[in-house]
Structure 1
């Protein structure tokens, strides 16, 4: 719109012509989905339509916190606008814009200094003199999301009721454009987040064991099922070389990080790295956990995050097991010959809480062939079915007992299949991990079960 058009003498069809220009200009507002560009176009269009010297757009701060509900100067155009680009704020109800936002009604001020609602603070801040003003709310589905202002006519005149009507029409389309731009931005951010989560999930999955190093005397299997793209559960199988008696040794680890999602996954991978690095040096299982805990506690500080861990050392030559419990739920030991379950408890706090804590190792003497050790996370027994009841450890024991004749991998599959049957389509709200260690007969030994 040219200056000549703004200052042209009034004609009977001026209002129709102005409305036509308004709708033509409003198309510019909806041609972009970039929020900052949409906001600038809204005010440029409004200034042109009303032949205004200056214009400003204030958006309601909807973010939770002390500034929620305040109006924030987001766009300022015209003389002395630079000082308003820094996020000048108005309290709810403050000034003309605050009144418009509270009442959701437009305001036309022929002489702003004659109206008690006008706040001269902005004029004092910028050195610009406001004479006349049109101010309209930006309404979306009955909710005020901001306020738009046009200030001072270019020809020195005053705004009219027709100007306010045109401004209100622009504001109605502007509010829709702002919401659409925000939704578009949120959708793009979600796409980026989904991509990042997918990438993180791929990295995390690549860190899980691809197989189990063979150790005579034991069968070992494990599986984890994250409830999100990434999970905070951890399991691993690590070969430690050998024992003084010449047997091969395998470490089986199961852990559970507080919470789940990307932060839990990052902590899980940190513990994995610490544990694998620590195995490069000699040490008993308790000493290994001591060192990993110290490193993790130094890293985590006062974050409030921690990780439980259950570490088994399986000695294939003697078919004995040593274990360290760091705040994790006790493992279950099932003896099929006796038909009994024993919980492998022991003193120990989660990793990352106290750097000076000393963990204890417990020894299980030569296990009978067929004995089953089950290490799981609470996502199994705390899972809830359609009626709200929990899967529970008794049902877990029953599933292990029923599958005791299977190999370790078969027991894992049987338990998780039973869990899915129990859930009956209900979503899991926590990660699920299960590791099974089954004592097998050594060469020349008759299996007991």
Structure 2
């Protein structure tokens, strides 16, 4: 043998090594391609295109594991299909766990090389029946990320005939490892973008809801009023409002509403907005507080149907000219009335169920004949007295009464701030698990007063 002449074995080894190097270059190319995009659908298409080209496959498909809790959990979903008849394999076609070669690979986490697909008992002919495409040979590789199966890649039929080789299987496995990382990264990126959009939407919703709350306390003859609402999430289901009857400025008729929607978050905030709109629109027509609440309840019940949600409401009307208070209690906790002169508390209770439960319920109206000068009326939600400290103990209404008594000499705003400061000192930084709302009304000297009815 002359110098420089290679043997057939050496030439074959060189060709084999050249193919391996070419396949490694394709793997690196795939890494570069998928790194250029974090859009999941684009990443999946690039994975399949690169895999087909690297392996000389006629067709390829990518199936992802359904990780959504529910009936389809663990099933394999055909997500991308390329090649002949791929248009007849609709995205969303599913395989049950363990079904077919792909299901076997996903269950075992092992790659499979089938020189003759129809000779293997694991092969499911249903896909061929759907597409009309005949599978001869197949490679099937699991997509594994940190020991978790995220999907399966299948390459089908060599271009020009022939069978896939063990080298093809090795290349496909390398591509699959790159693909699994790319898929997880794209998903994480998509989730991060979705969270950013959600956070932005929540900020907008919170801004809109805060715009619903009263900007300033009303200027009332004989009364000082202040209110505050602190949602435990970005948005909340608590509600308070100051309402003036149209055309009744001279009489000084003024209403205060405090409500609490079941739950909290965006759904509760939407219901709160509905209650606010219904109340404000109903005030355009004549009617007593009882009639107003009854009409609002009927509208809410029709809207809420069988959702299981409801809202408690306390609607109070101040009538300075008549020297009386009229109120309706719709399932809400009683308001607290404190008289500094006697040092006693009175609960403003009354009969009434929450809004949104029974459409034909007629709400009764209660009357208090005036407030003595210096009296403090507090309307709150259960986020105050049900708040818990570090030891798990509830704040309770006894502490609320004590806080109101200590602060009663101040104006309405300082009383509300003192109560919230006392609540904060009690919870010692524990997160609120419910919205907190408090409205304080203080009777000033000159307000009409007779004994409570």
What does residue range 185-200 of structure 1 map to in structure 2 within 5 Å? 185-200=190-205
Separation (CA, whole Å) in 1 of partners of 2:83 and 2:251: 83
1:269 aligns with 2:283: no
Contact 1:241 1:248 in 2 (8 A): no
Q: Secondary structure at the match of 2:70?
A: coil
Separation (CA, whole Å) in 2 of partners of 1:199 and 1:340: 44
Q: Secondary structure at the match of 1:317?
A: coil
- 2:397 aligned residue (393, 396, 406): 393
- 1:313 aligned residue (305, 314, 317): 317
Residues 256-275 of structure 1: per-residue CA shift (max 9 Å, x gap): 01111111111111110110
Q: Secondary structure at the match of 2:193?
A: helix
1:207 aligns with 2:212: yes
Match of 2:88 in 1: 83
Match of 2:261 in 1: 257
> Where do 5+ consecutive residues of structure 1 fail to align?
1-8
Separation (CA, whole Å) in 2 of partners of 1:12 and 1:402: 88
- 2:130 aligned residue (120, 125, 131): 125
Q: Secondary structure at the match of 1:308?
A: strand
Shift of 1:20: 2.1
What does residue range 314-393 of structure 1 map to in structure 2 within 5 Å? 314-393=318-397
Residues 33-91 of structure 1: per-residue CA shift (max 9 Å, x gap): 11100111111111111111100000011111111110010000001111212311100
Q: Secondary structure at the match of 2:161?
A: coil
Shift of 1:32: 0.8
Separation (CA, whole Å) in 1 of partners of 2:346 and 2:224: 19
1:98 aligns with 2:121: no
Contact 1:311 1:325 in 2 (8 A): yes
Contact 2:323 2:448 in 1 (8 A): no
TM-score with structure 1 length normalisation?
Answer: 0.94
Q: CA RMSD in A?
A: 1.7
Match of 1:21 in 2: 26
Match of 1:288 in 2: 292
Q: Secondary structure at the match of 1:415?
A: helix
1:248 aligns with 2:252: yes
334-343 or 87-96, larger mean C-alpha shift:
334-343
Shift of 1:242: 7.4
1:231 aligns with 2:236: yes
Separation (CA, whole Å) in 2 of partners of 1:293 and 1:241: 21
Shift of 1:161: 1.2
Shift of 1:326: 0.4
Shift of 1:155: 2.6
Q: Secondary structure at the match of 2:254?
A: strand
Separation (CA, whole Å) in 1 of partners of 2:248 and 2:151: 72
Separation (CA, whole Å) in 2 of partners of 1:182 and 1:11: 37
Contact 2:246 2:283 in 1 (8 A): no
Contact 1:217 1:317 in 2 (8 A): no
Shift of 1:247: 3.5
Match of 2:7 in 1: none
Shift of 1:444: 10
Residues 88-122 of structure 1: per-residue CA shift (max 9 Å, x gap): 11000000000000000101111111110001111
Shift of 1:11: 4.3
Separation (CA, whole Å) in 2 of partners of 1:277 and 1:308: 19
- For these two proteins, the number of residue pairs brought into alignment is 436
TM-score with structure 2 length normalisation?
Answer: 0.93
Separation (CA, whole Å) in 1 of partners of 2:96 and 2:258: 53
Separation (CA, whole Å) in 1 of partners of 2:417 and 2:324: 25
1:71 aligns with 2:76: yes
Shift of 1:10: 4.6
Shift of 1:149: 0.5
Contact 1:216 1:317 in 2 (8 A): no
Q: Secondary structure at the match of 1:93?
A: coil
1:279 aligns with 2:253: no
> Where do 5+ consecutive residues of structure 2 fail to align?
1-13
Contact 2:223 2:447 in 1 (8 A): no
Match of 1:6 in 2: none
Separation (CA, whole Å) in 2 of partners of 1:15 and 1:366: 94
Separation (CA, whole Å) in 2 of partners of 1:161 and 1:307: 67
Q: Secondary structure at the match of 1:13?
A: helix
Q: Secondary structure at the match of 2:402?
A: helix
Match of 1:182 in 2: 187
CA distance change for structure 1 residues 141 and 183 in 2, over 3 Å: closer, same or farther? Answer: same
1:412 aligns with 2:416: yes
Match of 1:35 in 2: 40
CA distance change for structure 1 residues 10 and 119 in 2, over 3 Å: closer, same or farther? Answer: farther
Shift of 1:243: 7.2
